[in-house]
Amino acid sequence: MIIGIGTDLANIDRIQAVLERHGDRFRNRVFTDIEQSKAKRRLDEAGTLAKRWAAKEACSKALGTGLRMGIAWKDMAVHNLKTGEPRITLTGWAKKRLDELVPDTHEAIVHVTLTDDHPWAQAFVVIEARLKT
């Protein structure tokens, strides 16, 4: 069953401006070390971070809270499988909220898709509760 759906659209140029203005203070407040490392290896650091920003916003919406009620940016970490498929790992309050939404007889699966077309980065998140086998 679908527990939640969220989407977000981020402006890559806006993220670039924030990076130029606040640099590591912004990076360290919002992104995990793994997210920062991946972005720094890319030619378009701002585009990579904008997609992750959008994913975190979309995830918080799918959790039904938005970025309030104790969710921290780093409670939602975007990483990629070896195939390139993006995933979101939840910790802290975001994980607690997810656990509250999913019945004990089910397991949570967080689906995420990312895309960008300068100057836009977009993410969709679907939280599924699947019956445990």
Residue 43 has pLDDT above 90, yes or no: yes
Distance CA 86, CA 57 (A): 15
Show me where the domains of the chain are located: 2-131
Residue 40 has pLDDT above 80, yes or no: yes
Residue 3 has pLDDT above 80, yes or no: yes
Q: 94, 20, 99, 18: which is closest to 58 by C-alpha? A: 94
The fold of 2-131 is: Ribosomal Protein L22; Chain A (3.90.470)
Residue 133 has pLDDT above 90, yes or no: no
**pLDDT number for residue 67:** 77
- Name the pLDDT band for 15 (thresholds 50, 70, 90): very high
**pLDDT number for residue 66:** 80
- pTM for this predicted structure: 0.95
DSSP 37-95: HHHHHSS-HHHHHHHHHHHHHHHHHHTTS-S-TT--GGGEEEEE-TTS-EEEEE-HHHH
**pLDDT number for residue 89:** 97
pLDDT tens for 45-102 read 999 999 999 999 999 999 998 877 778 999 999 999 999 999 999 999 999 999 999 9
**pLDDT number for residue 45:** 98
For residues 98-126, average pLDDT: 97
